[in-house]
Amino acid sequence: MERAYRYRFYPTPEQEQLLRRTLGCVRLVFNKALAFRTDAWYQRKEKVDYLATSSLLTTWKQQEDLFFLNAVSSVPLQQCLRHLQKAFSNFWAGRARYPNFKKKRHGGAAEFTRSAFRYKDGQLFLAKCDAPLAIVWSRPLPEAVQPSTVTVKLDAAGRWHVSLLVDDQTVEPLEPNQKAIGLDVGITALVTTSTGEKVTNPRHYEHYYKRLRKAQRDLARKSSREPGQKSSRNREKARRKVARIQARIADSRRDFLHKLTTAIVRENQTVVVEDLAVRNMVRNRHLAHSISDAGWGELVRQLEYKCQWYGRTLVKVDRFFPSSKRCSSCGYILSVMPLSVRGWICPGCGTVHDRDINAAKNLLACGLASAAVGHTVEACGANIRPGGHRAEGQLHRSRNSKS
C-alpha cells in the first residue's frame, strides 16, 4: 500500500538557493508547456501529448536565454510535464477543470524520482545537493522501506516540507466488528451520527478571523507593484504574515478532521455518508464561507482512504435521497423543509424529530440497504422506500433559528 509521509525540513542557505531555483525552473517549464498546448488547441485544434512537450524541453535547454534550465536536476522538469499530461487527461475526461498557470507567490513543488535522490541511514540527499536535508522526523518511517518518490514543497507561508512516498506494509486491517453508523454533515454540528451524538463545528476560521482581518488590512495598505516592478519588502512581509495565518487555519482544520475520521473508522465497521456536491453547494454566497470552513469534502476524502486502509466499508448515499424530509420511524415524507427548520413532528406517527439525527438514521438505513444483498433493510421498522404520502405535517423552528 502506497503511503506518503510528510515532514518539515530546514534547508541550509545553499540548499534553499538551489531548491528555489529548481522550483522556479519547474514553474517556468510547466507554464511554457501549458501555453504551448493551449495555443496548439485554439489555433490548430491539435492535442499535444507528453512526448511532444518533452522534446520541447530539450529544445528549450539549448536556447541561450533558457540555458539556466541545465543548472538544476532534469527529473523535476520531466515530472512537471507528466503532471501536466495527467491534468489534461483529467480535463478531457471531465474529472477536473482546465489546468491553471503556476504562480510564484503560491510557493511551488518539485518531484524527484529514485534517480534524483538517495535515502540512506535515515538521511535524504537530493540531486546536486552535497549535504542531507535537515528533516524533523516527527514520526519514523516504516523499517526497511525505500521511498519511490520525494516531493519538496514550499508553501505560501515560506515553510519547507518534504513528502516521501513509500510502499507501507505495516498498515493492517482492524479487527472486524458489527457496528454501523450514519453521518450527516452540517454547519453548526459538523457531524451528527445516527446514534444521536453531535460533533460541534470548531469554526477554525472564526478563531483567527480578527487576526487575519488586521493582517489583510495591513497588506492592502502596502503599495501594490506595477507590471514589471519588483514587489517591496514590506509588502512581501505583509503577504507572508497573511499566508502564515491562513496556513494555521488550514493546519488546524486538517488536524481536527484527521482525529475525527480516525476515531470514526476505528470504532465502526460500516460508515454511511451522503454523496454531496460540495462544488455546487459553495455557489450559494450565503453558505459558501461556512461550507468551505467546515471541510466536508476533506472529511469524506479522509474517510474513503482510511476505510480502504483498515478494512472498513464506506457507503455513499445518493445526494437526492430525502434524508431530512423522511420520517425514520414510519417513512412519511414532507414536501418542503427549509434549512431554518431544525426539528419537526411527523404527521404519520407523531414522532418528534431532530432534523440532523433523523437524517443520519435515514442515511444509515439507506446505506445498509444498498450494501445488503438479497434482502431489504428497514429503518426503525419502516421500509426505507415507502409509498407516497401527502405532504401534511407540523414544522417547528429551533429557538436559535431566524423567522
- What gap in Å lies between CA 310 and CA 263, rounded to an integer? 12
Read off the pLDDT of residues 1-18 as tens digits, 9 standing for 90 and up: 889 999 999 999 999 999
Read off the pLDDT of residues 171-181 as tens digits, 9 standing for 90 and up: 889 999 999 99
In the predicted structure, residue 392 carries a pLDDT above the cut 80? no
- What gap in Å lies between CA 291 and CA 281, rounded to an integer? 8
C-alpha cell at 212: 487575519
Q: Please provide the average confidence, as pLDDT, over all residues in the chain.
A: 87
User: What residue ranges in 85-148 does DSSP mark as E strands?
Assistant: 108-113, 117-120, 123-126, 135-136
Q: What is the pLDDT of residue 73?
A: 94
Q: What is the pLDDT of residue 278?
A: 85
Contact by Cβ (8 Å): 363, 347: no
CA distances from 142 to 109, 165, 305 (A): 24, 11, 19
User: What residue ranges in 257-305 does DSSP mark as E strands?
Assistant: 270-274
Tell me the three state secondary structure of residue 105.
Answer: helix
- What gap in Å lies between CA 329 and CA 354, rounded to an integer? 12
Residue 369 binned pLDDT confidence (cut-offs 50, 70, 90): confident
C-alpha cell at 203: 469554526
Question: Given 274, 275, 293, 392, which residue is catalytic?
Answer: 274
Question: Given 275, 318, 354, 356, which residue is catalytic?
Answer: 356
Q: What average pLDDT does this structure show over 61-87?
A: 95
Q: Fill in the DSSP letter of residue 118.
A: E
- Is 168 an annotated catalytic residue? no
Question: Given 2, 49, 64, 184, which residue is catalytic?
Answer: 184
Q: Which residues contact 84 (CB under 8 A, 6 or more apart)?
A: 30, 33, 34, 37, 50, 53, 99
In the predicted structure, residue 24 carries a pLDDT above the cut 90? yes
- Is 184 an annotated catalytic residue? yes
The dihedral sign for the CA sequence 168, 170, 172, 174:
negative
DSSP string, 189-222: EEEEETTS-EEEP--HHHHTHHHHHHHHHHHHHS
Residue 381 binned pLDDT confidence (cut-offs 50, 70, 90): very low
Q: Helix-strand-coil percent breakdown of the chain, rounded to 5? A: 45, 20, 40
Q: Which residues contact 73 (CB under 8 A, 6 or more apart)?
A: 22, 112, 116, 126, 127, 128
In the predicted structure, residue 339 carries a pLDDT above the cut 50? yes
Residue 349 binned pLDDT confidence (cut-offs 50, 70, 90): confident
Q: What is the pLDDT of residue 371?
A: 66
Q: What is the pLDDT of residue 65?
A: 93
Q: What is the pLDDT of residue 389?
A: 36
Read off the pLDDT of residues 304-321 as tens digits, 9 standing for 90 and up: 999 999 999 999 998 888
Q: Point out the least confidently predicted range of 47-51, 196-200, 205-209, 384-388.
A: 384-388
- What gap in Å lies between CA 141 and CA 147, rounded to an integer? 10
Read off the pLDDT of residues 270-311 as tens digits, 9 standing for 90 and up: 999 998 888 888 888 888 889 899 999 999 999 999 999 999
- What gap in Å lies between CA 156 and CA 243, rounded to an integer? 6
C-alpha cell at 157: 507561508
In the predicted structure, residue 382 carries a pLDDT above the cut 90? no
* In the block, residue with C-alpha cell 502596502: 222
Q: Which residue has the higher pLDDT, 332 or 231?
A: 332
Find residue 163's DSSP bridge partners: 6, 151
Q: What average pLDDT does this structure show over 215-231?
A: 78
Residue 17 CB coordination number (10 Å): 11
Strands 189-193, 198-200: parallel, antiparallel or unpaired by DSSP? antiparallel
Q: What average pLDDT does this structure show over 133-161?
A: 93
Q: What average pLDDT does this structure show over 213-224?
A: 88
- What gap in Å lies between CA 25 and CA 344, rounded to an integer? 60
- Is 167 an annotated catalytic residue? no
